[in-house]
Chains A and B, each alone.
Chain A
Amino acid sequence: MKQVIEINLNELIEVGKTDSISGRSFGQGYAEKIHLIEEINLGKTFKIIIPPNEIKAINDSFLKGFFSIVFEKYKSKPKVKEFFEFETSVAFLSLIDKNLTILDAIYNP
């Protein structure tokens, strides 16, 4: 049985001061901080929680920065999706899916 690592993106905001997550380097930095690709390579998966009442916006650059390191190794959207489960609103699921599709097109031209 695969080990699931749970992360809540509300750790990237300061409640009361910020409610959005943005930045390409920020996404890459966060992926490094949680050892994203290392843990995936060890056979683990991630459950990403995005509480929509606390987080109001995530910009596309953050998502691309975060997932690009996984795409560099695993290349395709279906493969990358195997490593993630999301607990969030329909709107954020749609945003994440859109960016995974774009990354898939970049890595599989």
Chain B
Amino acid sequence: MDKFLRISSSDNQNTRCAKKSFKKNLKTKLKRVKRIKTKQLNAVRHSNFSVSNKFAVFSSEITHFIESNKNILYNTNSFEVVLDDDFSLYENPQKVIFSLLNILNEAKKNSEFISLKYKNKLSFGALYFIDTICWEIAKSKRWELRSNLPERERNLLKNLKSIYSNTSESVFEYIINSKIKINRTHNALAKQIHKEKSKEIRDLVIKGMKDEDSEYIDLSHNEHEAIDSAISEHFDNILLHVPDAEYGFLCGYYDKVRSEITILIYNFGHTIAMTLDRKGLPEHIQVAVNKVVENHKNNYFLFGSSFSRENALTLLAIQEGISSKLDADVSRGHGLIDFITHCKGLNKETRIVIISGKTAIKIDSDYEISERLVFDRKRKILAFNKNNDIFDKPNPDKVVNLSSNFPGVIIETTIPLKIKTKNEASN
């Protein structure tokens, strides 16, 4: 065809113009066809049902999670995750977060599976996040989660399906899992779905306890308060402090064998420290932040890798009456300390871990909340040191400086419960 479109010396002007115009149109059409073909190819590549797809495509939150850990050194055999006593959000949050990043790194390479090697213990919270990450990967490529889990743990994993809102029951446990949309209409009295989930979780716990062959029982008032507080205070915080978070994720897990409930809530978005590390704070909060940071700098607490500015601000944020929103209402800043008080007051063996950014705070019976005169008034303080002093360095085993970053907040609360009769429950 090219020889017919070539302009020759014998062509008159009209013929030359016609050939030029035809060539130009043909070029435009060929470009358009190429663009369409590329689009179709990309659609096949990203399809959930593409068997040959090797490229993992992640949501913006997971992408941000990976990118906020750019300098990490991945394990060479990161296709295997060992499940033991240490592999839990509470015992070793660094290990769990790092494993999640390793799994995502494997998925970005040509791997098509990850292997769980069960040694002696399976922690629910850690398993939940592994399950979530694997489902995220499987959205865009072939992905398998292999394991040598014992039967009970295998069934737990099978029933988890963390990516979907669902409820599952078995002989050993009850699970409620939900992705909860945060209702951000301007109406303060607007319905919030987490309240329904709070009731569902407590109802499942009651049902689980009834399964233990006891007489009629109910949760005590304090148990209702503690479990509801573990959910409601955090969703209130997401609503108030994380304006970009469209969703919060809630999972309630009742272990019938141990009579223990675990509430796991997480959201992506601002970290806790970020709420205090910004311009425009209420004046007295800025003064408190400056005092703490200056104190820590002058005492060389921030020297080295065991305690950072972010750790200090996260710890400060959980103290009574510390909130970036105090200008709006001076009685704010009690949510986290109130929830911790309820849970510890109910059972000393309660374990709570708060993970945000590169900070993990582990709360158990080792340190107690007490009232201290600080920042011009008496406040409930939990400082994780001998004198419960917010100006002293906290125990690095309790306020942990992580080397991996979680861009958001994870709170895992585990409360042992007691089976009681109706008479005991009414007291």
Contact = CB atoms under 8 A, between A and B. Distances in A.
Interface size class of B (residues with CB under 8 A): 20 to 34
Contact of A23 (B232, B330, B338): B232
Contacts of B332: 24, 64
A18 B195 contact: yes
Contact of B199 (A17, A24, A26, A28): A17
A9 interface: no
A95 B229 CA distance: 13
A64 B333 CA distance: 11
A3 interface: no
Contacts, number: 107
Contacts of B221: 52, 56-57, 89, 91-92
A5 interface: no
Interface in A18-57: 18-20, 22-26, 28-30, 32-33, 52, 56-57
Contacts of B202: 19, 56
Given A25-B239, A56-B224, A103 B232 contact: no
B131 interface: no
B188 A29 contact: yes
B231 to A, nearest CB: 8
Contact of B240 (A25, A59, A106): A25
B198 interface: yes
B378 A105 contact: yes
Nearest to B198: A20
Interface in A63-108: 64-65, 68, 71, 89, 91-92, 95, 102-103, 105-107
A89 B227 CA distance: 19
Given A17-B199, A20-B232, A68 B189 contact: no
Interface string B195-208: 11011001000000
B335 A61 contact: yes
B169 interface: no
Contact of A61 (B222, B227, B330, B338): B338
5 contacts: A23-B188, A23-B239, A57-B228, A71-B331, A103-B331
Interface of B: 187-189, 192, 195-196, 198-199, 202, 219, 221-222, 224-225, 227-229, 232-233, 235-236, 239-240, 321, 329-332, 334-335, 338, 376-378
Given A18-B196, A24-B236, 5 more contacts: A20-B224, A23-B236, A56-B199, A64-B332, A105-B378
Interface of A: 17-20, 22-26, 28-30, 32-33, 52, 56-61, 64-65, 68, 71, 89, 91-92, 95, 102-103, 105-107, 109
